[in-house]
Amino acid sequence: MNFVRNSASAILASSLIAATAQAQISNNEIRIGYLADMSGTYRDLSGPGGLEALKMAVEDFGGTVDGRKIVLFNADDLNKPDVGANTVRQWIDERNVDMVTGLVASSVVLAASKVVEQGGKLALISGAAASSLTNEHCSPNHIHWTYDTFALANGTANAVLKDGGKSWYILTADYAFGHSMEADIKKVVQAEGGSVVGAVRHPFPSSDFSSYILQAQGSGADVVALANAGADTVNSLKTASEFGVTQSGQRLAGMVVFLNDIHAMGLEVTQGLMLTTGWYWDMNEETRAWAERYQKRVGSKPTMVHAGIYSATTHYLNAVKQTGSDDTATVRAQMAKTPVNDMFAKNGRIREDGRMVHDMYLVKVKTPAESKGEWDLYQMVRTIPGDEAFRPLAESQCKLVAKN
């Protein structure tokens, strides 16, 4: 009898020790790395502004989790996959970083996320667009937060198709993101009875889009879709405006357009452009209040990427607090079972493929006469429910999704 009682006590003690070990914070700190393009094509949509959004999340959390300090590291990936992967590897091996965020160029993210998975850490992707990140390239070690090419193509292309744009020509950035965007556009257009009459791929990044725009004009397509982003999109739209693309009867579809792009080009150039976004600063009192705080620090309104970085980081820190652990599997499980309810999303949820599902928004760029201020740029057209916006799990190629 004593043997049984002692054995039971020993088992209970072992279980408690194991649970305590799992609940510990490694190095007694929560360590976060911010990796992004800080100086190139994607600087404005994420870059230094994204780092400020991350700092806001940490500061709003009090700088600690139950007395454990939150420590930040940051680096410029230069939009180069090898630089990004090597930086993340160094962070994991030498600094024991728990989570990496920012993550913009899809080619960089694909490389960096493999290192994160090998190291058993977590990546919260807010800047990258390729929907393949939660499809054929899914992983239990990363979550795609803000938007993706499937949702953007689904929202914008559908709207343009319904408005009479049946034949399409696609101008594509020649790397992982652009390829994913092009494939998603073709799928939507063809499913809705439209046709893709041609496509051309340009190097990433590019500064001269003259020949590409001329090819698009010569195609005679109803719609010229821009499957690029950041400075590439800005330069594409400026060139299209100079060459009178819309005056000749064609329409432009900016598939990955950010608030800072519209602001940089001005409403005279961009008015009437339809686009899809994951967030807009002027949606409600909560978004306006956060955007005002951000603008005081940075000098401009935040993009959806900046808001997504804040949201994802806050959700992560809450999960660390709730579990008392920075163990990747433990924290990710807690994040997945907890709805996302903040200034970025309401009733958002993390699926098994790593996609954070939330509402997206179809917007139209205002005319100069309609705008009431420097950053009053979008007119809300409709809300696209999350289940409609993102790729259905029934179509997923993700190895983490149970097949029926």
Whether the pLDDT of residue 8 is over 50: the answer is no
Whether the pLDDT of residue 22 is over 80: the answer is no
Same domain, 108 and 141: yes
Please, what sign has the CA dihedral across residues 134, 137, 140, 144?
negative
The pairing of beta strand 167-173 with beta strand 223-227:
parallel
Q: Residue 266, by phi and psi: left (phi above 0), alpha (psi -120 to 50) or beta?
A: left
Same domain, 143 and 154: no
Q: Flag the least confident range among 108-112, 170-174, 243-247, 368-372.
A: 243-247
Phi, psi of 218 (to 5 degrees): -70, -15
In this prediction the pTM is 0.88
134 domain residue, yes or no: yes
Same domain, 133 and 249: no
- Alpha carbon distance 364, 382 (integer Å): 10
CB atoms within 10 A of CB 15: 10
pLDDT digits (tens, 9 = 90+) for 281-300: 999 999 999 999 999 999 99
8 A C-beta contact, residue 61 and residue 89 = no
396 domain residue, yes or no: no
- Alpha carbon distance 83, 78 (integer Å): 7
Domain harbouring 44, CATH code: 3.40.50.2300
Helix axis angle for 285-298 and 304-323, nearest 10°, is 100
Whether the pLDDT of residue 271 is over 90: the answer is no
Whether the pLDDT of residue 23 is over 80: the answer is no
- Radius of gyration over alpha carbons of the chain, in Å? 22
pLDDT digits (tens, 9 = 90+) for 185-237: 999 999 999 999 999 999 998 989 999 999 999 999 999 999 998 889 989 98
Same domain, 255 and 273: yes
Overall number of domains in the chain:
2
Domain extent, residue 228, equals: 150-277+360-382
8 A C-beta contact, residue 27 and residue 326 = no
For residue 316, the surrounding DSSP H or E stretch is helix 304-323
pLDDT class for 241, splitting at 50, 70, 90? confident
Same domain, 117 and 255: no
Same domain, 378 and 238: yes
Tokens of 282: 């002027």
- Give the mean model confidence (pLDDT) for residues 326-340: 98
pLDDT digits (tens, 9 = 90+) for 84-137: 999 999 999 999 999 999 999 999 999 999 999 999 999 999 999 999 999 999
Same domain, 172 and 260: yes
8 A C-beta contact, residue 234 and residue 261 = yes
